[in-house]
């Protein structure tokens, strides 16, 4: 809810690396997130200088997966990948970078004449992404 799949993956991996191998970790994490809802005013006082190092580490984890992108494929894969990678730091938002990647992927597939390969889920994600971009 309200988070990208990547952040959930990173949190799960960090828990497993630190020894959390049972479902209890999920329960503890959920309780702490619920607690953070009530202490949000206090947490919002934390400056960007404190959270920036964590974002840099997350960025490093994300950059490790770039080698898995087929950079020799067609532009319908290269362009959305590049837009996603570049727009995340430029906009300061992982969600907005992913949103722009989804929209550009749909457009590239349409311009390449491969729109029939896109499923209804991708069309739905693109519509939600466009709505998100235009309501910012």
- Residue range 65-76, pLDDT digits in tens: 888 888 888 888
Confidence of residue 118 (pLDDT cuts 50, 70, 90): very high
Residues 11-44: tens digit of each pLDDT? 677 777 878 777 788 788 889 888 888 888 887 7
Task: Give the whole-angstrom CA distance, residue 100 versus residue 66.
Answer: 17
* Burial letters 93-117, b for 16+ CB under 10 A, else e: ebebbbbbbbbbbbebbeeeeeeee
Task: Give the whole-angstrom CA distance, residue 101 versus residue 79.
Answer: 8
Closest alpha carbon to 133 in 100, 88, 91, 86: 100
In contact, 62 and 97? CB cutoff 8 Å: no
In contact, 128 and 37? CB cutoff 8 Å: no
């Amino acid at each position: 809810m309200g988070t990208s799949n990547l952040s959930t993956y990173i949190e799960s991996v960090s828990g497993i690396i630190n020894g959390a191998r049972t479902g209890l970790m999920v329960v503890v994490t959920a309780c702490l997130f619920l607690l953070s809802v009530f202490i949000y005013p206090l947490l919002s006082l934390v400056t960007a200088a404190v959270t920036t190092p964590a974002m840099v580490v997350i960025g490093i984890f994300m950059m490790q997966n770039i080698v898995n992108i087929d950079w020799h494929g067609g532009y319908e894969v290269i362009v959305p990948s590049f837009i996603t990678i570049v727009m995340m730091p430029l906009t300061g938002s992982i969600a907005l970078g992913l949103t722009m990647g989804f929209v550009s992927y749909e457009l590239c597939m349409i311009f390449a004449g491969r729109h029939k390969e896109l499923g209804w889920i991708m069309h739905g994600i693109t519509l939600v992404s466009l709505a998100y971009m235009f309501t910012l």
